[in-house]
Amino acid sequence: MKILANGINDILFHHFAISEGGAAEQLRNSTKGLIERLSMFFLARTDSKRLLAAEAVAEVILKRNDLEDLLEIRRIVAKQELKHRINYINQQDHTAHSLYVYLLGIWFYDNIPTVKSSIKNKMQNIESFLLQWIYASLLHDIGYAFYNLKEETQEDRDSIDEIFSWIWIEKQKASTEASNNNLDVLKKIHAEWESQYAQGLKIHNHSPFDEIEILNKLSVVPWL
């Protein structure tokens, strides 16, 4: 597919498609379908098509890094954006915008020596940068899933509550080749976690006055 020349899309696509020796090449070589999806994103000519294409790119990147749980929240932001349910007047294209931030950050890392050297002073390798940059770019707008707390978005918050439930885990594993024995072991571990922590953490009314209760519950979670 031909990408329009002399613009940011052309520069970024060229970099991710054929550059060598940097973060873009490492991402390309380890992310199946990335270039095809980037092509669709850059060729999109309507807001709705651009949004859907951006989400398709984000999907393969987040799955590459085992971040399916956060992909779920990002999908909700994309859905609300598509339905015009995020009434934040200063920014409307969260899904495409955050993907551009991600791609531009990698381009800067690969092309600006001072940027690369500064990052390498803090991180051991390219893979560390690729992971950390996801949080600052692809995921920096996921909080908009909670911007509109009206009844029309209640279903979205309910689906977020179900992340890491056994039903949710089974859906994630449906596309993998996990054996029944492995699933049985995982289900046992999940049941133990559910009994010790999950039930006690649930808050369903999402009231603006729940902050203290939420913090108190999170304070006893062993991995925080």
| Torsion sign across C-alpha atoms 61, 67, 68, 71 | negative
- Please state, as a whole number, how many other Cβ atoms lie within 10 Å of the Cβ of residue 82: 15
The model's pTM is 0.81
Residues 6+ apart with CB under 8 A from 148: 80, 85, 86, 87
Q: Where are the beta strands (DSSP E) in 98-193?
A: none
Query: Is the separation of the CB atoms in 171 and 163 below 8 Å?
Result: no
> Stretch 15-37: mean pLDDT, rounded?
97
More confident position, 197 or 95: 95
Report whether pLDDT(14) > 60: yes
Q: How confident is the model at residue 57 (pLDDT cuts 50, 70, 90)?
A: very high
* pLDDT tens column, 143-192: 889 888 888 999 998 888 888 888 888 887 766 666 677 888 889 998 98
Give the residue among 139, 158, 136, 157 at the shortest CA–CA distance from 148: 157
Report whether pLDDT(204) > 60: no
Query: Is the separation of the CB atoms in 78 and 95 below 8 Å?
Result: yes
